[in-house]
């Protein structure tokens, strides 16, 4: 039995049949749903993280097998391992390898939880002192998961009070048709506002009347009630 086989066998010990039934509905795997065709084993995230810590020394060849697996939880496991490796390493060369691996296998980062668990911690972190054009390429790609990766990756910079890319990418996506982008952009705008309300409101005053309602609601969630109501009623 290979290490991969052992890892999958151990992971499967945490399968919960009721979760296996619930998760496909939650992640919209039905026809024309955003997660159409995805398969779930039914494993809770804390248990996936536990296995990731145990198998964090997998080779990139082994990780290639995991990240391309048909099961959602196994792809998530691969991403958790990559994040652990990236965060623990002090070596720029290893950061580069991990980021390049992430980009090479980006087609498998194909649901919102997969994106949100990894985009800022790997791609965002790696690009901190580099050209970030790839995020703009993703934002304008027309592909849902690449676009979510683009905006979520900026969370790394927002946390360091660097808002420029978040606001520029938010502007690219401000009229996006999908609710998963509305939520992601609104979330990042809220995170900007948590650190610099003026920067967020400068953006909102330009777009709040035309941006999707869900995006606006997410963005102003932490505002005091009177101000929030003014934005919702178009009275700013």
The pLDDT value recorded for residue 38 is: 97
> How many structural domains is the chain composed of?
2
At residue 87, the pLDDT reads 97
Torsion, Cα of 49, 218, 149, 53 (10° steps): -10
pLDDT at 68 > cutoff 90: yes
Report the C-alpha gap between 236 and 225 in whole angstroms. Answer: 14
Instruction: Clarify whether residues 163 and 78 are in a common domain.
Output: no
pLDDT of residue 151: 99
Q: 66 pLDDT exceeds 90?
A: yes
Residues 148 and 180 in one domain: yes
Between CA 71 and CA 136 the distance in angstroms is 29
Q: What is the pLDDT of residues 80-99, one digit of tens each?
A: 999 999 999 999 999 999 99
Interior/surface letters 78-106, b for 16+ CB within 10 angstroms, e for the rest: bbbbbbbbbeeeeeeeebebbbebbeebb
Residues 113 and 214 in one domain: no
Residue 151 belongs to what domain range?
A: 131-236
Same-domain pairing of 5 and 118: yes
The predicted model gives 218-229 an average pLDDT of 97
Q: What is the CATH number of the domain that holds 203?
A: 1.25.10.90
- 197: pLDDT confidence band, cut at 50, 70 and 90? very high
CA 214 to CA 169: how far, in whole Å? 17
pLDDT above 90: residue 1:
no
Mean pLDDT (whole number) for 31-39: 96
Supply the mean pLDDT for the chain: 97
């Amino acid at each position: 039995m290979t290490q991969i086989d052992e890892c999958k066998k151990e992971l499967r010990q945490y399968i919960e049949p009721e979760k296996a039934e619930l998760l496909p509905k939650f992640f919209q795997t039905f026809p024309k749903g955003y997660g159409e065709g995805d398969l779930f084993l039914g494993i809770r995230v804390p248990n996936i993280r536990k296995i990731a810590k145990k198998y964090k020394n997998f080779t990139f060849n082994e990780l290639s097998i995991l990240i391309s697996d048909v099961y959602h939880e196994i792809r998530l496991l691969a991403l958790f391992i990559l994040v652990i490796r990236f965060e623990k390493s002090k070596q720029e060369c290893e950061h580069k390898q991990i980021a390049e691996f992430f980009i090479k296998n980006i087609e498998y980062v194909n649901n919102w939880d997969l994106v949100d668990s990894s985009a800022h911690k790997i791609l965002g972190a790696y690009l901190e002192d580099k050209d970030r054009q790839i995020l703009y390429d993703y934002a304008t790609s027309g592909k849902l998961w690449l676009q979510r990766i683009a905006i979520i990756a900026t969370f790394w910079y927002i946390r360091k009070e660097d808002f420029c890319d978040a606001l520029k990418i938010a502007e690219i996506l401000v009229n996006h048709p999908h609710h998963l982008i509305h939520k992601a952009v609104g979330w990042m705008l809220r995170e900007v506002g948590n650190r610099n309300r003026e920067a967020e409101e400068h953006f909102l005053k330009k777009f709040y009347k035309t941006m999707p309602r869900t995006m606006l609601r997410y963005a102003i969630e932490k505002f005091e009630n009177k101000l929030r109501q003014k934005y919702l009623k178009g009275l700013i």
